Structure 1
Amino acid sequence: MSNATHPVIIVTGADLAQQALDLLAGYEVVYAGKTPTEDDMVALCRAHNPVAIIVRYGKVGAAVMDAAPALKVISKHGSGTDTIDKVAAKARGIEVVAAVGANAAAVAEQALALLLACAKSVVALDTRMHAGHWDKATHKSLELGGRTVGLVGLGAIGLRFAKMADALGMRVIGFDPFAKNLPAYVQAVDLETIWRESDAISLHCPLTDDNRGMLNAATLAQCKLGVIVVNTARGGLIDEAALLAAVRSGQVMAAGLDSFAVEPMTAGHPFQGEKNFILSPHIGGVTSDAYVNMGVGAAKNLLAVLARAPHAVAVA
């Protein structure tokens, strides 16, 4: 067991914003590193018996929870909680909380950057220019104004993106069964309408058992010829083999992706070296501002849970 005189919080990462650490004064913060395995986490929990875990990287399942009998809260450093076994947490009376909206601006901006990069051939033209070519006579970009963007998920990130797309003069349609009081420039539709009417599709929803692989051979075939696909949410929302086939056939003009079914992406992934794929390593939410916002949000959320826990943890 830990010899700490203060209750312990484990962070599944190598660091935490100073503003968050300031909030957690009185707790001992233990870092698991950037790539903690389940065995690493179990060992750390047995050694320190934390009252809280802040999840940045990796997964937290039942084995980790069982190794920490004092654990009262698992706090996500961000908004997506699919890497936390929420059923196991509930069964053990452990609360799961997320810093919803803390990285909304960052992720929405990344989605817009990927959309524009696809529509304007930014990466391909840059490569050609550096190689000494001047393709003005042969290249035509896609104009987004007046075209329809379909959003799947209208939470903080989706709505932030919708506002920017509206500012570009795009028609914005969106599917989200939980969204209420949408702004006038977002038209709520069903998924079939998203596939059928969108010139570009951007995914902004959490990954669940119900929507895993929602963009697949069947749904891609329902889309307009030459649709653009953007995903800054979770890689599991897309059947990657089907997307590769659709881009190669021209059914999908280009795909801008910030998340993948397996992360980190390993050498030899089929998307690597493939034209009309613009890739980034799940960094949509990784900005200096979002890093602070997510850390502070995660700290505040776990402190709120600990303050109302049946046996509240006293700190110095």
Structure 2
Amino acid sequence: MSRRAIIVTGADLAPEALQLLQDFEVVYAGKTPQEEDLVALCKRHDPVAIIVRYGKVGATVMDAAPSLRVISKHGSGTDTIDKEAAKARGIEVRAAVGANAAAVAEQALALLLACAKSVVHLNQRMHAGHWDKATHKSLELHGRTIGLVGLGAIGQRFARMCDAMGMKVIGFDPFAKNLPDSIRVVDLETIWRESDAISLHCPLTDDNRGMLGAATLRKCKRGVIVVNTARGGLVDEAALLEALRSGQVASAGLDSFAVEPMAAGHPFQGEPHLVLSPHIGGVTSDAYVNMGVGAAKNVLAVLGQGVAAAHA
């Protein structure tokens, strides 16, 4: 009897995760799987599980896999999975919550510091032979207010980093509980009004898509810093670009974008007050293992293999 199949929408999985899935046939969809590729693989292998690394999994893919019982995200964000379609078909959707929290929080801090200290600009100037000590002034973050939208595993870890630097931490998350005293919980209007820097750590939903747009940015302090290591759809990119050029936003550090990968000629490219990274906040050697193991454990938990679901 052939082994049950698990499709991975990527080209690899950590050896530690594969060890957990040794009783299954693991099928890789490649680095850039398209819907038609996934449909073909599902029809060929009829998987009991899909581990989602790249690409989207919607109703068409699900319908091509009649034995599918669980869709497990290799990470924490499930916006690339059609959860309503999965629910309608009795398919569970799981995420490896917290598996990449340290990695993403560190990336958020790196982007915040790069913006506040003009790291990229000064590096370029130095390599070009300039010495700007007499003319440049960076922003000191100590005593400044950081506003966090989303206080899950990543947001709380980033909050601890900011608190350690002496920043005042305010945050909004209607679902977070038992938060530390170092975070002052406020509403979104207070986030926009009081923050010297804003960092997004929430999932993307239909309700918050484009939440950081023209109207919101006008409510912010002039010269605010924006950091986004969550999902690109949270930000209205045209509005952010206009705010950067007007000085309403002093600088922004972005690790996620509305359309990925970013195409050549994107308006963000070459913008002097933008620090960009290619959605690699959660891509570290440690997080790679943690996310793979978390995704594998979630698959096994749903399939009743006796392994507890992965948690942060």
Give the TM-score category using the shorter length.
Answer: over 0.9
Q: What residue in structure 2 maps to residue 250 of structure 1?
A: 247
Select 1:129's aligned residue among 121, 126, 131: 126
Cα shift at 1:305: 0.1
Which whole-Å CA distance do the structure 2 matches of 1:26 and 1:96 have between them? Answer: 21
Partner of 1:183: 180
* Amino acid aligned to 1:213: G
**1:104 to 2:93 alignment:** no
Equivalence map 1:84-95=2 (5 Å): 84-95=81-92
Cα distance in structure 1, aligned partners of 2:155 and 2:110: 14
Pair 1:210-2:200 in alignment: no
Q: What are the superposed Cα offsets for residues 205-246 of structure 1, whole Å, 9 maximum, x if unpaired?
A: 000000000000000000001000000000000000000000
Question: Partner amino acid for 1:156?
Answer: A
1:35-184, aligned counterparts within 5 Å?
Answer: 35-184=32-181
In 2, the alpha carbon distance for the partners of 1:146 and 1:115 equals 15
- Please state how far the C-alpha of 1:308 moved relative to its aligned partner: 7.4
Matched, 1:233 2:236: no
User: Counterpart of 1:255 in 2: which secondary structure?
Assistant: strand
**Cα deviation per residue 1:140-199 (whole Å; 9 max; x = unaligned)?**
000000000000000000000000000000000000000111101000000000000000
Q: Pairwise CA RMSD of aligned residues?
A: 0.9
Q: Using the alignment, how far apart are the partners of 1:191 and 1:269 within structure 2?
A: 29
How far is 1:5 from its partner? 1.1
Cα deviation, 1:15-36, whole Å, max 9, x if unaligned, reads 0000000000110000000110
Distance (Å, rounded) in 2 between the aligned partners of 1:110 and 1:283: 8
Percent identical residues: 82
Cα distance between partner residues in 2 of 1:245 and 1:258: 19
Aligned to 1:314: none
TM-score w.r.t. length of structure 2:
0.97
Deviation at 1:102, TM superposition (A): 0.1
Equivalent-residue separation in structure 1 for 2:22 and 2:299 (angstroms): 13
1:97 aligns to what SS in structure 2? strand
**Structure 1 residues 81-108: Cα deviation after superposition (integer angstroms, max 9, x where no partner):** 0000000001100000000000000000
SS at match of 1:219: helix
Inter-partner Cα distance in structure 1 for 2:79 and 2:91 = 16
SS at match of 1:193: helix
TM (norm. structure 1) is 0.96
Look up the match of 1:312. none
Whichever residue aligns with residue 167 of structure 2, its letter is M
Q: Distance in 2 between matches of 1:297 and 1:67?
A: 25
Using the alignment, how far apart are the partners of 2:278 and 2:141 within structure 1? 25
Structure 2: where are the runs of 5+ without partners?
Answer: 307-312
Paired residue for 2:310?
none
1:279 alignment partner AA:
L
SS of the aligned residue for 1:54 comes to strand
Distance 2:252 2:4 in 1: 46
Q: Give the one of 269, 284, 289 matched to 2:281.
A: 284
Q: Distance in 2 between the 1:188 and 1:33 partners? A: 42
Aligned-pair CA distance for 1:12: 0.2
Letter in 1 for 2:304: A
> Gaps (5+ residues) in structure 1?
310-316
Question: Offset of 1:294 from its aligned partner?
Answer: 0.1
Partner of 1:297: 294
